[in-house]
């Protein structure tokens, strides 16, 4: 059911966790030192053009620390802020199913042994092309021990945009990955980015139509960030392209919410970046302001999640 209050006109993550776990729940981002097939030459070199050298793990734990120490450092900070909070360890940096099964077992099972009394689930960020049948089956086994959440990077369903950002994975791979994970009853969250170079409002809304055809449980909606030491930043310096304003981002995101399947949980509206890395847009630093602008647009236009949702006439082939 949509959290339909005066403030929230969509399925927000805080309410979802409170209803599911009866506690405040926070993620603890960890860095296990994984790589990516789009960096090591298997699919390409350099990664997606927007991706930082850390593999979008700039706000995760220090990979020089053990996983246990990374967890404890962040847990201490969170418990000072939210006593009695519960946690979800989150492998964030790079592609965290991209390794031989034995290595995955060693890392995952170490994480599952960390503070089991206070950890309610285990989240893994990865690419849709980083699975084997053995890995799917293993995740399904772990899901019987503790709920597993797999987060998959789509960014855009537009094939031309995927080429421009050097995603090096296909929509077909996304479809297959979601289907195989859901066969094992694993929770799936998809990531999208608004404001990618060359994308129109229409194309960003079409990405939601594509997501609606997938059996996903959650979505993370991010604004494009220009980060230092990325290929996209170098491209922007040489050939500047328009960046979304806060007002444009709020409007597009609100319209996406209205188009989004009503059952999907919205996990976030903002990407994280350190002040040292972020070049633009600077408004993305103010996460609460971003959320408030989206909420204001929804209220002003009397929109709720799913108001414009229609089951797509295009059925993804099985």
Inter-residue contact 161 to 194 (CB < 8 Å):
no
What residue spans define the domains of the chain?
Answer: 13-300
Q: Which of 91, 84, 186, 189 is nearest to 145 (CA)?
A: 186
In three-state secondary structure terms, 188 is strand
Residue 157 zone, left/alpha/beta (φ > 0; ψ -120 to 50; rest): alpha
Q: How many whole angstroms separate alpha carbon 172 and alpha carbon 193?
A: 19
Q: What is the pLDDT of residue 60?
A: 60
pTM, two decimal places: 0.93
Q: Alpha-carbon distance 156 to 148, whole Å?
A: 24
Which DSSP letter does residue 124 get?
A: E
Cα(213)–Cα(161) distance, integer angstroms: 19
* Sign of the torsion formed by the C-alpha atoms of 289, 151, 21 and 66: negative
pLDDT of residue 54: 58
Domain 13-300 class, CATH top level: alpha beta
Question: Which mean pLDDT values do the consecutive 10-residue runs of the chain (318 residues) have?
Answer: 61 94 94 90 85 62 88 93 94 93 97 96 96 98 97 96 92 97 98 95 96 96 92 91 95 98 94 83 92 96 95 59
């Amino acid at each position: 059911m949509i959290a339909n209050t005066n403030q929230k006109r969509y399925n927000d993550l805080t309410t979802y966790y409170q209803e599911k776990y009866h506690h405040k729940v926070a993620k603890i981002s960890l860095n296990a030192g994984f790589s990516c097939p789009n960096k090591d030459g298997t699919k390409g070199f350099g990664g997606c053009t927007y991706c930082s050298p850390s593999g979008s793990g700039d706000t995760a734990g220090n990979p020089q620390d053990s996983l246990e120490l990374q967890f404890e450092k962040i847990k201490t900070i969170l418990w000072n802020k939210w006593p009695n909070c519960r946690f979800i360890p989150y492998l964030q940096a790079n592609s965290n199913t991209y390794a031989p099964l034995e290595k995955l077992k060693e890392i995952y099972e170490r994480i599952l042994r960390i503070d089991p009394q206070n950890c309610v689930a285990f989240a893994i960020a990865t690419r849709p092309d980083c699975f084997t049948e053995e890995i799917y089956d293993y995740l399904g086994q772990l899901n019987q021990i503790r709920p597993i959440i797999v987060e998959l990077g789509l960014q855009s369903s537009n094939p031309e945009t995927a080429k421009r950002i050097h995603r090096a994975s296909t929509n077909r791979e996304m479809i297959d990955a979601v289907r195989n994970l859901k066969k094992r009853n694993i929770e799936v969250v998809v990531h999208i980015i608004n404001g990618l170079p060359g994308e129109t409002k229409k194309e960003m809304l079409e990405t939601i139509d594509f997501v609606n055809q997938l059996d996903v449980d959650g979505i993370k909606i991010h604004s494009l960030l220009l980060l230092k030491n990325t290929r996209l930043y170098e491209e922007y310096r040489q050939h500047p392209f328009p960046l979304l304003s806060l007002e444009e981002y709020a409007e597009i995101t609100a319209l996406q919410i209205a188009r989004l399947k009503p059952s999907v949980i919205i996990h976030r509206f903002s990407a994280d970046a350190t002040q040292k890395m972020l070049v633009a847009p600077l408004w993305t630093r103010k996460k609460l302001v971003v959320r408030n602008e989206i909420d204001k647009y929804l209220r002003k236009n009397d929109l709720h999640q799913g108001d414009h949702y229609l089951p797509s006439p295009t059925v993804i082939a099985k």
